């Protein structure tokens, strides 16, 4: 059982890390926070590896866990340290580019930003994003419209 769970865990890491990171990057608009939260979500999965139902899509579990960790992160878990403000491998041009994008997207709410980025860039369905964000399909569509309107102002 342990070996099987270990294998499933490794597979979940390799298969879904990108999705979890990008979801949390969209949700937080913060590179370091997204990295930390992704790591923390996988730590939770590792600690629960014997209890989770591996027959169900584990990515949904990771996304909801990551979102909950983000909600509690700064209020109750201020012990978490941000390692860096940026990806250390970036050059100055990349940093400035990221800061511009971040500033622009920072005008959107979390839901608007996540809804727009994940549907328009990542190609997720409205239903998939709605489940991860914890809202309805209709509310998510409205959020995408608002996000586009805000960015054009």
Query: Closest separation between CB of residue 52 and other proteins, Å?
Result: 14
Q: What are the counts of helices (DSSP H) followed by strands (DSSP E) for the chain?
A: 7, 0
Range in contact with other proteins (rule: CB under 8 A) among 40-48, 55-63, 128-136: 40-48
Residue 64 exposed, middle or buried by CB count within 10 Å (0-12, 13-18, 19+) = middle
| Half-sphere exposure at residue 138, Cβ-oriented, CA atoms within 13 angstroms | 0
Cα(124)–Cα(19) distance, integer angstroms: 10
CB nearer to other proteins: give 97 or 138. 97
Query: Closest separation between CB of residue 47 and other proteins, Å?
Result: 7
The SS3 of residue 1 is coil
Total number of residues that touch other proteins (CB under 8 A): 56
Cα(122)–Cα(142) distance, integer angstroms: 18
CB nearer to other proteins: give 87 or 137. 87
Chain positions contacting other proteins, by CB under 8 A: 9-10, 13-14, 17-18, 21-22, 25-26, 28-30, 33, 35, 39, 42-43, 46-47, 70, 73-75, 78-87, 92, 94-106, 116-117, 120-121, 147-148, 151-152
């Amino acid at each position: 059982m342990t070996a099987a769970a270990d294998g499933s865990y490794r597979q979940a890491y390799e298969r879904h890390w990108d999705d979890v990171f990008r979801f949390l990057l969209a949700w937080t608009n913060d590179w370091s926070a997204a990295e930390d939260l992704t790591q923390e979500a996988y730590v939770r999965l590792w600690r629960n590896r014997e209890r989770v139902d591996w027959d169900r899509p584990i990515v949904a579990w990771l996304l909801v866990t990551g979102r909950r960790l983000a909600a509690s992160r700064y209020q109750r878990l201020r012990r978490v340290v941000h390692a860096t403000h940026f990806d250390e491998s970036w050059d100055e041009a990349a940093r400035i580019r990221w800061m511009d994008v971040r500033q622009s997207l920072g005008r959107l709410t979390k839901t608007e930003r996540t809804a727009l980025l994940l549907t328009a860039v990542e190609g997720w369905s409205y239903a998939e994003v709605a489940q991860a964000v914890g809202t309805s399909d209709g509310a998510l569509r409205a959020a995408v419209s608002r996000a586009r309107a805000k960015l054009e102002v």
